[in-house]
Amino acid sequence: MKKHIVFLGVTCLFLACSTNPFTGKKSLNFVSNSEIFPAAFQQYGEFLKENKVITGTADAKRVETVGIKIKNAAERWLKANGQDHYLDGYQWDYKLVESKEVNAWCMPGGKIVVYSGILPITQDEAGLATVLGHEVSHALANHGAQRMSAGQLQQLGAVGVSVAAGGKSEQTQQILQQAYGLGSQVGVMLPFSRGHESEADQIGLTLMAIAGYNPDQALNFWQRMAAKSGGNAPPEFMSTHPSDATRIANIKKLIPQAKAEAAKFGVVFK
């Protein structure tokens, strides 16, 4: 039985790995766009019905305008790299929602929400482009589907632990299950999520640069975010996101790459 579980896990990993055109890395994905997009679109529609969408204001228009520029930048990059059909099935939408929460998110398939609480920190179009570039990149990299796939593997591993501990005492079984749960969360799932955040930063910087926004401005935004958090974030190893210091240091390293990529499209920053 244990051999069958290991074989199944290895087979799933082999069959589910695909190359992300934006990073060049192989990614784990058991869930197709045709499966996840309809559910995401439905949840997005329900969310909009249950929350106050801001329309007709300068801020709402800015969210839509910058979002479209980022989307267009992604299309330009994909076309230039022979991936014209990568966005088939995406249905882009950008909404500003009234909330004090300092946040924004993107559902699979391109449904994006910006909370009004983040606008004092974005301050201008470049700050908003930093946020939208990051969120759009989560959708482009299929991070939602990857997290679902990783969750399925985590559950498969839990089954394997149960089988392996089947002949042991109930107390030992509980200890092994708890150890697996903590180990897989801290050692696998959280680093997996932090990796997604770093990928979204990398792709987002490139997209905002191609859209004409100086990626140097991303540093200003994340420094404002760090000041807002006031150092109250959990330790990085217990978080789904990199620490502010790690993120800012990584972005500094990625900016020259983003500018070089934008230069291929005739966008040059002084």
**Mean per-residue pLDDT, 172-187:** 38
The SS3 of residue 96 is strand
In a domain, 87, yes or no: yes
Q: Would you state the pLDDT for residue 235?
A: 39
In a domain, 150, yes or no: yes
57 burial level (CB within 10 Å; 0-12, 13-18, 19+)? exposed
Confidence bin at 237 (pLDDT 50/70/90): very low
**Mean per-residue pLDDT, 31-57:** 88
Give me the number of domains the chain comprises: 1
173 pLDDT more than 70: no
The reply to whether 197 belongs to the active site is no
How far apart, in whole angstroms, are the C-alpha atoms of residue 241 and residue 244? 9
CB count in 10 Å sphere of residue 68? 14
In a domain, 56, yes or no: yes
10 pLDDT more than 80: no
Q: Where are the beta strands (DSSP E) in 15-75?
A: 17-19, 26-28, 53-54
- The 10s digit of each residue's pLDDT in 48-89 is 999 999 999 999 999 999 999 999 999 999 999 999 888 889
In a domain, 79, yes or no: yes
In a domain, 212, yes or no: yes
Whether 103 and 118 have beta carbons less than 8 Å apart is answered as yes
Please give the mean pLDDT across all residues of the chain: 76
In a domain, 130, yes or no: yes
231 burial level (CB within 10 Å; 0-12, 13-18, 19+)? exposed
- The 10s digit of each residue's pLDDT in 136-151 is 988 888 755 555 545 5
In a domain, 29, yes or no: yes
In a domain, 270, yes or no: no
Q: Which of 64, 125, 135, 261 is catalytic?
A: 135
Domain of 209?
2-263
Give the domain CATH number at 203. 3.40.390
